[in-house]
Chains A and B, each alone.
Chain A
Amino acid sequence: EPEVTQTPSHQVTQMGQEVILRCVPISNHLYFYWYRQILGQKVEFLVSFYNNEISEKSEIFDDQFSVERPDGSNFTLKIRSTKLEDSAMYFCASSRGEMNTEAFFGQGTRLTVV
């Protein structure tokens, strides 16, 4: 069964460093998403991406964040200058985009900023 894959599973980075989280969505999906889950809290929407551009973003998704689909298969989330409060589990998801399809989630990348 096709699945969304994320790498790495765990990333430790120093405060102020740039980090790139990678995702390979399901191949025939058209919409891509990043969500964040701070430990013990709810899952929060960050950004949606369609047709090579951001279609929607939340207040959390400020100028420190960016997304791109560099090669038609990978979908990346970049955090330019990490802060301690960026420590969280980051989930990538994808969907076909039609009304009756669901979002499939990856297994997540745990980001720890020290």
Chain B
Amino acid sequence: AQTVTQSQPEMSVQEAETVTLSCTYDTSESNYYLFWYKQPPSRQMILVIRQEAYKQQNATENRFSVNFQKAAKSFSLKISDSQLGDTAMYFCAFIAGGTSYGKLTFGQGTILTVHP
């Protein structure tokens, strides 16, 4: 069974600054995918970024990037130039390769507040 752990229940950052959200996971799978989802107050789950475990290069999507450390089973999210609209709950999620993308295992979430 897979587990995903987010050790930071809450984080805050000033607008335009950089913040890093932590995530660790545990699995015996060799092929898997990792995700960060954003859940704003509207409650909808929005995919922020995706990382394939077989890729050594860290994924980036505009202001969002990850630091994927496979040996350490760590998958942190860096948000650069934080904006007020980044305020949300952020979930780290895992899925084993060879299965459909939908069966995700989520972490507990980190509430991020961006202050003006």
Interface residues of A (CB under 8 A from B): 31-33, 35, 41-45, 48, 50, 55-56, 89, 91, 93-95, 97, 99, 101-108, 110
Q: Within 8 Å CB of A55, what residues of B?
A: 100
CA distance A105 to B38 in the complex (A): 11
A102→B50 contact, CB < 8 A: yes
Q: For window 60-111 of chain B, which residues contact chain A by CB distance below 8 Å?
A: 91, 97, 100-109
Number of interface residues of B (CB under 8 A): 21
B44→A102 contact, CB < 8 A: no
Question: Can you name the residue of chain A whose Cβ is closest to the Cβ of B100?
Answer: A31
CA distance A41 to B37 in the complex (A): 15
Question: Can you name the residue of chain A whose Cβ is closest to the Cβ of B52?
Answer: A100
A102→B101 contact, CB < 8 A: yes
A48→B91 contact, CB < 8 A: no
B103→A43 contact, CB < 8 A: no
Interchain pairs with CB closer than 8 A, number:
61
20 more A-B residue pairs beyond the given contacts A48-B103, A103-B47, A103-B104, with a C-beta to C-beta distance below 8 A: A31-B101, A32-B102, A35-B104, A42-B106, A42-B107, A42-B108, A42-B109, A43-B45, A45-B103, A45-B104, A45-B105, A48-B102, A93-B102, A97-B101, A99-B97, A102-B101, A104-B47, A106-B44, A107-B44, A108-B45
A89→B43 contact, CB < 8 A: yes
Q: For window 16-64 of chain B, which residues contact chain A by CB distance below 8 Å?
A: 35, 37, 42-47, 50
Q: Within 8 Å CB of B46, what residues of A?
A: 105
A-B contact pairs, 16 of them (CB 8 A): A31-B102, A33-B102, A42-B91, A42-B109, A43-B106, A44-B106, A48-B100, A55-B100, A89-B43, A95-B101, A102-B50, A103-B47, A103-B102, A103-B104, A105-B45, A107-B44
